[in-house]
Amino acid sequence: YAPTLCAAAQTSMEQGILPPCHHHEAVHDPQLVPCMCPIFSCPWEGHLEAVVSHLRQAHHINILQGAEIVFLATDMHLPAPTDWIIMHSCLGHQFLLVLRKQEKHEGHPQFFATMMLIGTPTQADNFTYRLELNRNQRRLKWEATPRSVLECVDSVISDGDCLVLNTSLAQLFSDNGSLAIGIAITTNKVHNSEAEM
C-alpha cells in the first residue's frame, strides 16, 4: 500500500486555488519541461530524464515498484481541491498517478484519476494502464493508454479522459475515508517492429 496524501496538498488547499497549468509549448528551450507535480506552482524546468529525481528530491513523491500495485489515498473527506500523487516504476519506465478531488460544479466534488508516463507521447502509446476499485462485492475498472507528462494533466482532467467518480460512488468504494486503487501497467502486445518481423 502506498502512503497517503502528498504533504504539500495542504498548502494548495489553504490557498484555495489549483496551480496553473504549464504548457510545454511555452517553454523557450524545447528540450526542457516544467515540473509535473500538480500540487505545486513550482518554477523548476529541466530535461525529461531529470523529472523523476526532481519529483523525489524537491517534492518527496514516493515511488512504488512492480507491474501491479495498490495505491491507498487517505483523507478522502478533505475539501476540494486536493491532489494525491504517487510515482509507479515498472517495465523500465516511471509513471505518475494523479488523483484529484475537484468541483466541476459548485458543491459537487468529483474524483479524477489518471496515469501519466514520464516520457514522450510516442513512448506512452506503448502502454496500457488499468485502475481498479474493488470493495463490498463491487468492482469498477478503467483502462486506457497513459498520457505523456508533456501534456497538461489539467486538460486531461477537464476533458474527463480519466476515471471519474462522483462523491457517492467514491463512498461505495472507500473504507473509513480511504480509497484503495489497484494499478496495473502492461505493454501493448504487438509493437510495430515486431509486426514487421
Is residue 44 within 8 Å of residue 34, measured between CB atoms?
yes
Q: What is the CATH number of the domain that holds 88?
A: 2.60.210.10
pLDDT confidence of residue 75: 92
What is the spatial distance between Cα 159 and Cα 123, in angstroms, rounded to a whole number? Answer: 22
Lowest mean pLDDT among 14-18, 34-38, 52-56: 14-18
Residue 17 lies in a domain: no
Q: Which of 77, 64, 109 is nearest to 178 (CA)?
A: 77
Residue 21 lies in a domain: no
Q: What is the average pLDDT across 169-189?
A: 93
Residue 4 lies in a domain: no
Q: Which three cell numbers stand for residue 176?
A: 473509513
The yes-or-no verdict on residue 22 having pLDDT over 50 is no
Residue 99 lies in a domain: yes
pLDDT confidence of residue 44: 85
Rounded to two decimals, the pTM is 0.77
Is residue 122 within 8 Å of residue 173, measured between CB atoms?
no
Is residue 70 within 8 Å of residue 2, measured between CB atoms?
yes
The yes-or-no verdict on residue 132 having pLDDT over 70 is yes
Please tell me whether residue 3 adopts helix, strand or coil conformation.
coil
DSSP letter (8 states) at residue 49: G
Please tell me the total count of domains within the chain.
Answer: 1
Residue 180 lies in a domain: yes
pLDDT confidence of residue 55: 84
Task: Give the pLDDT band of residue 40 (cuts 50, 70, 90).
Answer: low
Domain encompassing residue 101: 38-187
